[in-house]
């Protein structure tokens, strides 16, 4: 995936704790979340499963969408994820990331995309 502004949602598990973020490089950001390279909510709560993302033409548009989604009720976010990803599978695997080990929120060895 080329660098492109994206809004994304990570989940701890199916219908679990959610995190909404924005980035210009989704693959790099997934790697950072999985490796815990920066402190914060996703590292503290081991939120690493990419369950939804949306590409935007500009970073301004992506930031606006992220801010709107962050104000939504949890149920609305669940509906958004379910419309794109009904089984809540880890979409990071589509970018070459190894499956997460169930229950630990950690990736299998070699979790960076190949």
pLDDT above 90 (res 73): yes
Tokens of 86: 């009904």
For strand 49-55 and strand 18-23, is the pairing parallel, antiparallel, or unpaired? unpaired
Average confidence score pLDDT of the chain: 89
Q: Is the model's pLDDT at 112 over the cut of 80?
A: no
For range 43-57, the mean pLDDT: 95
HSE of 35, CA atoms in CB hemisphere, 13 A? 13
Q: Number of C-alpha atoms within 13 angstroms, CB side, residue 81?
A: 28
Q: Which residue has the higher pLDDT, 16 or 18?
A: 18
Model pTM score = 0.87
CATH number assigned to the domain covering 6-95: 3.40.1440
35 Cβ neighbours under 8 A, 6+ residues apart: 111
3-state secondary structure of 3: coil
Residue pair 61/33 in contact (Cβ under 8 Å)? The answer is no
């Amino acid at each position: 995936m080329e660098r492109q502004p994206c809004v994304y949602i990570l989940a701890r598990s199916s219908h679990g704790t959610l995190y909404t973020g924005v980035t210009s490089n989704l693959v790099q950001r997934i790697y950072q979340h999985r490796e815990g390279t920066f402190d914060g909510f996703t590292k503290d709560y081991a939120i690493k499963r990419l369950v939804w993302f949306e590409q935007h033409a500009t970073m301004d548009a992506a930031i606006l969408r992220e801010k709107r989604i962050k104000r939504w009720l949890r149920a609305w976010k669940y509906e958004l994820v379910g419309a794109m990803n009904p089984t809540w599978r880890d979409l990071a695997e589509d970018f070459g990331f190894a499956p997460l080990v169930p229950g630990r929120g950690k990736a299998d060895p070699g979790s960076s995309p190949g």
